[in-house]
Amino acid sequence: RTVYVNGAYLPETEAVVSVFDRGFLMADAVYEVTSVLGGRLIDFAGHCARLERSLAELDMRKPACFDALLDIHRELVARNGLEDGLIYLQVTRGSPGDRDFVFPDPDATEPTVVLFTQSKPGLADSAQAKTGLKVISVEDIRWGRRDIKTVQLLYPSMGKMMAKKAGADDAWLVEDGCVTEGTSNNAYIVLNGRIVTRALGADILHGITRAAVLRFAREAQMEVEERSFTIAEAQGADEAFVTSASAFVMPVVEIDGVTLGDGAPGPVARRLREIYIDESL
Ligand code: PDD
């Protein structure tokens, strides 16, 4: 596999980053994941716009290659012959040459930029979409700026491990009694045909897939309500689902051991998944 590091396309075994890189030492870094279907990038403009915002919110300089990111994504897809899968992009504040809590001088320190591809054959017709996910709820103890897509993913990672241990697939994070989002996706319930999902704020990531799916839902005359909901409300809902660049629209069929409806993916989630994939191809 060829990866991109700071302007160079290299075999993955030769790609290196300094031990003083602030992404490594401080999680001082932001990232994006863009999916690829049939060799084509999905929603690249949205991911690029969110990256720009994440950088700005952290007073991080845009890397010199920022305007070339689309070309770099395409080049990696071509070099790796990627049909279906993901492109991971990370930008760190760089490697100032020593460990320090204080940000380095932005004029003296180049941001580190890394991109790599992950092949996921058959991404669009995943077996999991046919059976749906089981989720458990866990307390959301992440920091307060979840709208910035930082690489601080230890707690989301622990959430997935807690889910696995409990025999489930993923965790929904709960704060002040309401669901914020999934460990790596946005969360939705469906009540009497109405799609309910938490409103945007600093407490959740502004999903690029969320924006697209809500637009498609409204275009298809489905009702959308952006408000918080509890686990109890979700357990009594007709259906539930999550969205992300890597899972598209993924049905949820069980929450904390309670089966939703007949335990099969619901019609709204299935339809939105179909529309999202159709529109992306
Ligand atoms: N995760 N919420 C969180 C906490 C996320 O990590 C993600 C994405 C989303 C969905 O955002 P989008 O639709 O833009 O992918 C919501 C990516 C896929 C990941 O970490 O791999």
CA of 181 to the centre of ligand 1 (A): 10
> If you measure from the C-alpha of residue 75 to the centroid of ligand 1, how many angstroms do you get, rounded to a whole number?
23
Same domain, 114 and 153: no
22 and 117 belong to one structural domain: yes
Same-domain pairing of 115 and 134: no
How far apart are alpha carbons 111 and 141 in whole angstroms?
A: 29
Other beta carbons within 10 angstroms of residue 247's beta carbon come to: 21
Three-point CA angle 184, 191, 136, nearest 5°: 35
What ipTM goes with this model? Answer: 0.99
Say which CATH number the domain at 114 has.
Answer: 3.30.470.10
Among residues 200, 202, 201, 232, which one has the least CA distance to residue 214?
A: 200
User: What is the Å distance from ligand 1's center to 98 Cα?
Assistant: 31
Instruction: Let me know whether 109 and 57 are in one domain.
Output: yes
For ligand 1, the distance from its centroid to the CA atom of residue 239, given in whole angstroms, is 21
Boundary-marking domain end, from 105, 122, 139: 122
CA dist., res. 2 & res. 15, Å (int): 9
Residues 199, 131: one domain? yes
Binned at pLDDT 50, 70 and 90, residue 155 comes out as: very high
Matching residue, tokens 């790796």:
80
Q: 186, 242, 243, 273: which to mutate for ligand 1, most atoms within 8 A of CB?
A: 186
Domain that holds residue 240: 127-280
**258 and 139 belong to one structural domain:** yes
Tally of structural domains, the chain: 2
Shared-domain flag, residues 140 and 117: no
CA distance linking residue 54 with residue 151, whole number of Å = 11
Residues 170, 206: one domain?
yes
What CATH number has the domain bearing residue 235?
3.20.10.10
Mutate to test the pocket of ligand 1, among 205, 206, 215, 243 (most ligand atoms within 8 A of CB): 205
Atom of ligand 1 nearest to the CA of 32: 17
Decide: 227 and 239 in contact? Cβ < 8 Å: no
pTM equals 0.97
Catalytic residue numbers? 149
Regarding whether 133 and 267 lie in a shared domain, the answer is yes
- The radius of gyration of the chain from alpha carbons, rounded to an integer in Å, stands at 19
Q: Give residue-wise pLDDT tens across range 196-220.
A: 999 999 999 999 999 999 999 999 9
108 and 138 housed in the same domain:
no
Burial of 193 (0-12, 13-18, 19+ CB in 10 A): exposed
Query: Which protein residues touch ligand 1 with a CB less than 6 Å away?
Result: 33, 181, 184-186, 205, 207-210, 243-246
Q: 167 and 101, same structural domain?
A: no
Instruction: Please report which confidence band the pLDDT of residue 128 belongs to, taking 50, 70 and 90 as the band edges.
Output: very high
**pLDDT tens digits for range 77-96:** 999 999 999 999 999 999 99
